[in-house]
């Protein structure tokens, strides 16, 4: 398990994990961008509120992607079932 140093809003963080260093840096850059977006929209917001809003935005993206994936999975299963019935 290695350690990767990243910067989020100018603060240095040491992240430990099994993931590749480049992946950790990508995640940190993504979080940094989300927080900067919040600060650009509301410059006087507190860091805690900015973090919560950024987390909600990221959670919204994840939730929408999961729903899309579930919908695609159902669609593929329906098509596979239709195709399988053609061979019966």
pLDDT digits (tens, 9 = 90+) for 30-60: 999 999 999 999 999 999 999 999 999 999 9
Euclidean distance between CA atoms 48 and 51, whole angstroms: 5
Euclidean distance between CA atoms 82 and 62, whole angstroms: 30
Quickly count: other Cβ atoms within 10 Å of residue 35's Cβ.
19
**Segments forming the whole domain that contains residue 40:** 2-86
- DSSP symbol at 46: -
Per-residue confidence band for 20, with pLDDT thresholds at 50, 70 and 90: very high
| Number of domains into which the chain is organized | 1
Predicted local distance difference test score (pLDDT) of residue 2: 86
Q: Can you say how many angstroms the Cα of residue 67 is from the centroid of all Cα atoms in its chain? A: 14
């Amino acid at each position: 398990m290695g350690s990767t140093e990243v910067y989020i809003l100018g603060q240095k963080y040491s992240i430990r994990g099994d993931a590749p260093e480049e992946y950790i840096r990508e995640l940190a850059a993504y979080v940094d961008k989300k927080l900067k977006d919040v600060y650009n929209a509301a410059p006087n917001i507190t860091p805690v509120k900015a973090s919560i809003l950024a987390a909600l935005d990221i959670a919204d993206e994840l939730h929408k992607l999961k729903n899309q994936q579930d919908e695609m999975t159902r669609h593929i299963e329906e098509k596979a079932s239709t195709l399988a019935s053609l061979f019966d």
